[in-house]
Structure 1
Amino acid sequence: MNRIERIIMWKKLYSFVLICILVCSGCVSAGRINQLSPEEKKQGFKLLFDGKSMDKWRNYKSKTIRPQWQIIDEAMVLTEKGGKDIVTKEKFDYFDFRLQWNIAEGGNSGIMFRVDESTTKRLPWMVAPEFQLKDRYGKPRKSAGALYGLVAVPEGIAKKAGEWNTTRILLAPGPNGREQLKCWLNDTQTVDLVIDHAPDSEWSKLIKRRNKEKDVAGTKFELPAEFFKTTTGPILLQDHGARVAFRNIRIRKLPTIALLATSEAGKVSVIPRPVSAEYSEGFFTITPATLVIAEDKAATEAQKLIDTLAPAMGFRLKLATSSGPQDRVIRFELSDKLPQIGNEGYTLDVTAKSIVIRAAKPAGLFYGSQTLRQLLPASVFSKTKVKGVTWKVPSVMITDYPRFKWRGLLVDPARHFIPKPDLLRFIDAMALHKLNSLQIHLTDDQGWRIEIKKYPKLTEVGAWRDETLIGHLHKGPLLFDGKRHGGFYTQADIREIVRYASARHINIVPEIEMPGHARAAISSYPHLGVFPEKQKDIRVWTRWGVSGDIFAPRPRTIAFLQNVLTEVMQLFPSKYIHIGGDEAVKNHWKASEEFQALIRDKGLKDEAKLQSWFIKQMDTFLTKNGRRLVGWDDILQGGLAPGAVVMSWRGETGGITSANAGHDVVMAPTSHTYFDYYQGPADKEPLAIGGYVPLEKVYQYEPIPKAIDADKAGHVLGLQAQLWSEYIPDPQHLEYMAYPRAAALAEVGWSPKSLKDYDDFLARLRQHIQRLKAMDIRYRPLD
């Protein structure tokens, strides 16, 4: 069977599976109202209203429900205007939703789904599709059964006012990362759409037509760019002012139906792209009888795979020793005969009889497991049991290893604190993408986030700010929210985070900012500042940007910071310790007679040389303790400390200069790796700091500039993307800003340069999006 034949076969098979969903769920509860039939129970339907309680509903953006919503004759009834829209307490991504409704004469209402309650700029009907409920036939695209403003409906389907209508809405995953939306009114199908946000898709053309022909559609507004791009959300019943009643409300969640983790081109949709993959016919099917065989250190990695597969599969695979059977097994093997693939490389051999992952080191086995997970149906990433899925893995032989050894992200809890559970969840997503370094920006002007036993005020005072800036720093008058913000990681928290990341082969790089970005520390211990008396009453900074508060390079301050670093080293086993070194505003040094005298006494040229001297004190200290200092490229000013690693952020010049001088560098330029920058048009995206770094720009980045001498290219350790959090207020928005750009960065850091192909990446990404959905990652939808 050639590739084209396989594509046709899988498309036919997908169509057959979707037809099965439609047929098996076509029955309607024929018994008493608000009760499930035996067949519906078997299919997995659940009631969203039992005729007695509305406890599964609440008002939009509220925890309660207004009294205008009443239960009358076992129906949920909006008795008069003012009840406001209500939504399900539970969110849904793919579903089969059905109900009955009747409406008063002349009435108007609607059903919306995947409603986004996080938006502050849009009303629900502006970003979520609406199935129209209405008395009397009017304009075809806004009559009962229509997809409001988009899909027209013929006359004569809806019943008269006061009579019960039946509605069914089916939203299911489609092939190649697309989605299918089907709707019925009184058993007549009114909507049959493929949801594809590509600019030239039929769906996009439908939206463009609707916005262009607003008078024909009978609407009052244009659909914004974010329309129907949320991946999950509650279902909404609209209050449009008319009396309307609902009953027999039931729903069935649908799994992600990905029969194979393959792209439209027939290739395995793995991200990052493997070095080589050879395909063959057949599958390996994982069942409760499948054994996992491993021993010693390999068994540790095997157990991790068992743990990650169990929730979705609904069964736990058994771990056995190498003396077990040879067929129908998943085998983990460590071998010293694979030097060519390095410490993180692996081979993955899938046949109909077995799956074998081989590596030189445990990290390779772990990354082989991540690839194996991506070869399975996307629903394997679900946190709960998924029914009706055959856990097939396509036969393939993969050899894989990374291009760079530093493949990282930076998170910034200093500006907006990231709770520990959310940070651990973020680490899980990184591990799937074979990212292996997480820099945590623990201190800044706006907060100190790590417990230091010797200096408790750093968290008692420095971890809390009185309020936070609202809106953009450079737009309009400065306004603040008046809410205390803060938090910090205890040393027990840090140990747990480090241990959790280490189990996923991710190194945590702590960043303790110095000599600038120091206001939170100085507000805790004013003697650390240049002018202690003047600074004794300063507070943790409440605005963004960089304050003028800088550490005073006195012996007492240097001892203080080295004591902090001592506790940091006790918590973080990382070889690399980041000390910041960027954006140090030196006005206080310039204005201080004490430090002007210090510059003269040490024979230094200026304040830049004083900063270099300061950094060298930390470099010597860290080197003495067996660690390596990392700093932003600002540390090049005045001369670079001999053992320092430079993180090049102000373009590539710092990285080029450092590498050519024989220093190790990590490329992190604003132009391609600042993920706090906008990833789409600013007027259509949530507020960001500025800039523009779209997905394709990230993917096209080359971490080794041509200006680096060929014999110095090995000094480029890798690359890192930054998620500075001034305008990233919560973990959900952190995910939105990270993905899918982090998937592109992961491929740049892992895959060979010769295999870079953006169109191929996009084809695989459309499948990969299904995995992110199953993990409940709030990614930015593809354009």
Structure 2
Amino acid sequence: MRMNKKTLALILTGLISNNAFAALVEKSSLVVDQIQIGKMDGDTEPAQYSVMFNFHNTGDDINKWQIGFYMPRSFYSLAAQNINPALEMQVCNADGGCANLHYVKSPFNAPDLSQGYFTVLEPISSFPLKEKGRYYIRLAHSNQWPAGNVSALPQNLFLISNNYTKNGVPRIYTISTELTQYSLLGYDHNQVETQIKDKLTANWQNSQSFITDSLPGIVPQPVSIKAVGSDGFTPPKQLTIHNQLNDNNSVASLWAQKIKSDWKQKKPVLIDNDSGANTGIIITEISDPKSIANSPEGYRLTINADNITIETLTQTGAYYALQTLRQIWAQNKQTLPSVTVTDYPRFKYRGVLLDTARHYLSVAEIKTLLDVMASQKLNTLHIHFADDEAFRLGLESYPNLTATAANRGLGQMVGPNMLPQNNLDTTNLTQQVYPLANSAYSGSYSAEDIKTLISYANANQITIIPEIDLPGHARALIKALPEVMVDPNDNSQFVSVQGYSDDVLPVCTYGTDISVGNQFTPTMNTIMQNIAAQFNNQSTVYAVNNEVSVGGDEVSSHAWTNDTSCRNEWANLSSLEKSHLFFQKLAASNRDLIFSGWQQFIQNESASLGKNIVAANQTGHVWVWNPSSEGVGQAVSLANNNYPTVLAYADKTYFDLAYTPSMYEPGFTWATGYSDTYSSLSMAETASKTQSKAKNPQNIVGIEGTLWSENLPSFDHLMYMALPKMPGLAEAGWSPNWVTINNKQLDWQSLATRLGCGETGFLAYLHQSFSVNYRGYPHGISRELPDDNSLCSSTTASN
């Protein structure tokens, strides 16, 4: 392919998440005129839509070519599974000449081309793109649902010539697009904006009325906060923390550094264990533990003119009291008001899932996330280390695993995917450079990285639970160890929800000598043992030793349907039942481990439990991700059968979903069009509903917000999706339900007031403390308030 001088540009890409990726960027001579997405002629089914690319060639003739792009939809066809059975793909010129396009897929043992949401197409017969010629590409009647917003657009378009680099990587030529060139057919901007405004107004009007008082505004709202006098506490020039609770001064040492910095103490904050001290900050055992519900995380914090007293049962309670003290100080930086705060959590599990498989985050970035979580008294980070797109956890027994499985891009075994385009990402205010199809995108966590993260998390009272997704969502692992993970007896045809046709483990060989069974079985056992060993012996109050999450979700119903290794007890089982039996056998072979997973790890697609499943007494947690319309029943069934159940209903606390249905708002929309702070807070009410239906409500142990990272290419984007939703989750998980819910009304007005309008409030506190931005920065929560609301009347921010 010949390129003239105007079409060449050489750019060395920068850094993303402290993860270097370099790519040679050469611009194509193809210029996009318009891209239309939506319902077109012949799209008669609800899920059907079409895409039309209109473009022209400003350079020389291009004789042999392929075109590629990223779009979170699959263009693979499999009629047996009703995946795109009517899909038509063509390229046509202005004279009406057309050629059908072919979906270009590599053999599994070769570097990837099309897979998942990454598509490469080529004409099935010669179809040169002539100089000055005008063309359109038509992808008609896909049944994978129309795009709803900027995240779902076809993006990062490129052309592949028949040239390759020295390393055998296909040479690509980028095709530039701007948001103005896209058209979502049927999208009515004014109508959507009106709906959003009406929703924000309804949220406000249907919540508890709130009148601002003089008491400090704490997030999450404590059980009780009362004024106890008029004289406040003024820090002395020499401050001492007296730990009378025990001789473990780790929490006091951590906070001594923070207090010195926050309070601008010139002298170091001292620490002792003086049982007779009555000045400074005193940490002591609470005499009436019932007042904090006997909770190891509870505390009573009393501030008066003479001292600050923290009464608690554990160092964890002291830590949370000091978090509250830090918020009070941020609002009163000269003299702390005399108050008594009595506090303890509603749920013992208050978590966030972080997906590092789709997009890598550095250790430093995860530490910042931990800081933000800890400030809101969230206590569990559930890290998703492995999925179809990557396996990022370094394992002692398989040191070369991440060399393949933690890297992706054209020319690599794991191909490019999850490629949001930087100038289409409305959170990318600095126009940070994002990976392209030919970028070498990589990142993994060594044993030393994990030690660092666990130490930092545990010091901040956060447990880390590791997760690798099995037996589906396992493509990166399979690509890295094909001699162990690929069963030649399996000729099943399927497509996963994310568009993969080869992402399941050879489960029917586990524990047998059939096919790869003799290798697969010990490999899986060793992987599980290696992971458990890395995350063992955490020091937090609710840490579960030897806990590993195996995911267990979204196995295609057509997996293993043509696998001759599935004999005997496996023969007549559905795909989900085979998944259940695999986990049961894996657990039986590793009785020292505690297994966790999503609801499909234990349940059928309905709320019923599977026949062959891991027992409740060998289960750490089961997370329920379905929207609450289905999820409530599933959670109740799990709880009634004594499984420790965590609510992560997608319509409530999937942080990666879009705040609103605006086409300019990033995030998926499959579970709800309004994944905002009010939605996260509403989990308080939905959790109460779930508990009320359960015979064993004590087994509903908590709630979780998720940061699935398909659309989170940078830490700034992640924080945009997490904040201010996370404080809503924290309030729902910590504050008592009689605070968050009153007469079926949420305390949204109160929370919004405490979050603030930018210069003050909790969002400003997070920004000042940890240098993180949030959606709506620097105007606080104003984007989630009605236009006529007086709370942030001086703030100008559009919805």
Q: What range is the shorter-chain TM-score in?
A: 0.5 to 0.7
SS of 2:338's partner is strand
What is the rounded CA distance, in whole Å, between the counterparts of 2:481 and 2:692 in structure 1?
43
CA deviation after TM superposition for structure 1 residue 310, in Å? 2.6
What does 1:595-634 correspond to in 2, within 5 Å?
A: 595-596=566-567, 599-600=570-571, 604-622=572-590, 624-625=591-592, 627-634=594-601
What is the rounded CA distance, in whole Å, between the counterparts of 2:471 and 2:454 in structure 1?
26
What does 1:169-208 correspond to in 2, within 5 Å?
A: none
The 1:364–1:312 alpha-carbon spacing in structure 2 relative to 1, beyond 3 Å, is: closer
What is the rounded CA distance, in whole Å, between the counterparts of 2:232 and 2:211 in structure 1?
17
Q: Which residue of 2 aligns with 1:677?
A: 657
Decide which of 309, 316, 319 is 2:259's aligned counterpart: 309
Q: Which residue of 2 aligns with 1:417?
A: 360
Q: Which residue of 1 aligns with 2:35?
A: none
CA deviation after TM superposition for structure 1 residue 703, in Å? 1.6
- The answer to whether the 8 Å contact 1:272/1:743 transfers is yes
What amino acid sits opposite 2:450 in the alignment? I
The 1:459–1:542 alpha-carbon spacing in structure 2 relative to 1, beyond 3 Å, is: farther
- The answer to whether the 8 Å contact 2:367/2:456 transfers is yes
Higher relative contact order (CA closer than 8 Å, sequence separation 6+): 2
What amino acid sits opposite 2:658 in the alignment? Y
What is the rounded CA distance, in whole Å, between the counterparts of 1:751 and 1:546 in structure 2?
42
- The answer to whether the 8 Å contact 1:293/1:321 transfers is yes
The 1:334–1:630 alpha-carbon spacing in structure 2 relative to 1, beyond 3 Å, is: farther
Q: Which residue of 1 aligns with 2:326?
A: 373
What is the rounded CA distance, in whole Å, between the counterparts of 1:550 and 1:426 in structure 2?
31
The 1:709–1:418 alpha-carbon spacing in structure 2 relative to 1, beyond 3 Å, is: same
The 1:543–1:483 alpha-carbon spacing in structure 2 relative to 1, beyond 3 Å, is: farther
CA deviation after TM superposition for structure 1 residue 282, in Å? 2.5
Name the % identity: 26
The 1:737–1:297 alpha-carbon spacing in structure 2 relative to 1, beyond 3 Å, is: farther
Q: Which residue of 1 aligns with 2:505?
A: 551
What amino acid sits opposite 1:675 in the alignment? F
What is the rounded CA distance, in whole Å, between the counterparts of 2:217 and 2:691 in structure 1?
34
Q: Which residue of 2 aligns with 1:493?
A: 449
What does 1:144-163 correspond to in 2, within 5 Å?
A: none
What is the rounded CA distance, in whole Å, between the counterparts of 1:454 and 1:586 in structure 2?
32
- The answer to whether the 8 Å contact 2:232/2:304 transfers is yes
CA deviation after TM superposition for structure 1 residue 698, in Å? 1.2
Q: Which residue of 2 aligns with 1:444?
A: 387
Q: Which residue of 2 aligns with 1:109?
A: none
User: Given the alignment of the two structures, is residue 660 of structure 1 paired with residue 655 of structure 2, yes or no?
Assistant: no
What does 1:103-502 correspond to in 2, within 5 Å?
A: 264-280=212-228, 281-295=230-244, 296-297=246-247, 299-315=249-265, 316-323=267-274, 326=277, 328-335=279-286, 337-338=288-289, 340-377=293-330, 390-466=333-409, 467-471=416-420, 481-502=437-458
What is the rounded CA distance, in whole Å, between the counterparts of 1:531 and 1:359 in structure 2?
56
CA deviation after TM superposition for structure 1 residue 457, in Å? 2.9
- The answer to whether the 8 Å contact 1:298/1:365 transfers is no
Q: Which residue of 1 aligns with 2:561?
A: 590
- The answer to whether the 8 Å contact 2:367/2:453 transfers is yes
**Stretch of structure 1 that moved more, 492-501 or 553-562:** 553-562
What amino acid sits opposite 1:568 in the alignment? I
Q: Which residue of 2 aligns with 1:145?
A: none
The 1:434–1:303 alpha-carbon spacing in structure 2 relative to 1, beyond 3 Å, is: same
SS of 1:442's partner is strand
Decide which of 657, 679, 698 is 1:697's aligned counterpart: 679
SS of 2:225's partner is strand
Q: Deviations over 1:534-561 (max 9, x none)?
A: 99xxxxx999555532000223323212
CA deviation after TM superposition for structure 1 residue 526, in Å? 0.6
Decide which of 690, 698, 708 is 1:714's aligned counterpart: 698
Q: Deviations over 1:238-260 (max 9, x none)?
A: xxxxxxxxxxxxxxxxxxxxxxx
What is the rounded CA distance, in whole Å, between the counterparts of 1:770 and 1:731 in structure 2?
18
CA deviation after TM superposition for structure 1 residue 465, in Å? 0.7
What is the rounded CA distance, in whole Å, between the counterparts of 2:275 and 2:296 in structure 1?
27
**Stretch of structure 1 that moved more, 301-310 or 636-645:** 636-645
CA deviation after TM superposition for structure 1 residue 709, in Å? 4.1
SS of 1:570's partner is helix
Q: Deviations over 1:584-618 (max 9, x none)?
A: 12534112112255623xxx533322111111123
What is the rounded CA distance, in whole Å, between the counterparts of 1:618 and 1:777 in structure 2?
41
The 1:545–1:724 alpha-carbon spacing in structure 2 relative to 1, beyond 3 Å, is: farther
The 1:567–1:334 alpha-carbon spacing in structure 2 relative to 1, beyond 3 Å, is: farther
Decide which of 730, 742, 745 is 1:746's aligned counterpart: 730
What is the rounded CA distance, in whole Å, between the counterparts of 1:352 and 1:545 in structure 2?
64
What is the rounded CA distance, in whole Å, between the counterparts of 1:337 and 1:438 in structure 2?
31
What amino acid sits opposite 2:259 in the alignment? L
**Stretch of structure 1 that moved more, 760-769 or 541-550:** 541-550
SS of 1:759's partner is helix
CA deviation after TM superposition for structure 1 residue 708, in Å? 5.0
What is the rounded CA distance, in whole Å, between the counterparts of 2:559 and 2:573 in structure 1?
17
User: Given the alignment of the two structures, is residue 560 of structure 1 paired with residue 523 of structure 2, yes or no?
Assistant: yes
What is the rounded CA distance, in whole Å, between the counterparts of 2:656 and 2:586 in structure 1?
29
Q: Deviations over 1:402-460 (max 9, x none)?
A: 01010000001100001111001110111110000000000011001111121223201
Q: Deviations over 1:13-54 (max 9, x none)?
A: xxxxxxxxxxxxxxxxxxxxxxxxxxxxxxxxxxxxxxxxxx
What is the rounded CA distance, in whole Å, between the counterparts of 2:490 and 2:563 in structure 1?
12
What amino acid sits opposite 1:761 in the alignment? L
What amino acid sits opposite 1:404 in the alignment? F
SS of 2:213's partner is coil
Q: Deviations over 1:555-594 (max 9, x none)?
A: 3323212211111111112513211000112534112112
User: Given the alignment of the two structures, is residue 763 of structure 1 paired with residue 753 of structure 2, yes or no?
Assistant: yes
Decide which of 511, 535, 552 is 2:467's aligned counterpart: 511
The 1:336–1:631 alpha-carbon spacing in structure 2 relative to 1, beyond 3 Å, is: farther
- The answer to whether the 8 Å contact 1:263/1:764 transfers is no
Q: Which residue of 2 aligns with 1:522?
A: 478
What is the rounded CA distance, in whole Å, between the counterparts of 1:689 and 1:482 in structure 2?
29
Q: Deviations over 1:118-155 (max 9, x none)?
A: xxxxxxxxxxxxxxxxxxxxxxxxxxxxxxxxxxxxxx
Larger radius of gyration: 1
TM-score, length of structure 2 as denominator length: 0.59
- The answer to whether the 8 Å contact 2:240/2:272 transfers is no
CA deviation after TM superposition for structure 1 residue 300, in Å? 2.0
SS of 1:591's partner is coil
What amino acid sits opposite 2:253 in the alignment? Q
Q: Deviations over 1:375-394 (max 9, x none)?
A: 0125xxxxxxxxxx944221
TM-score, length of structure 1 as denominator length: 0.60
What is the rounded CA distance, in whole Å, between the counterparts of 2:456 and 2:694 in structure 1?
38
The 1:417–1:471 alpha-carbon spacing in structure 2 relative to 1, beyond 3 Å, is: closer
Q: Deviations over 1:490-519 (max 9, x none)?
A: 011111111110111101010011100111
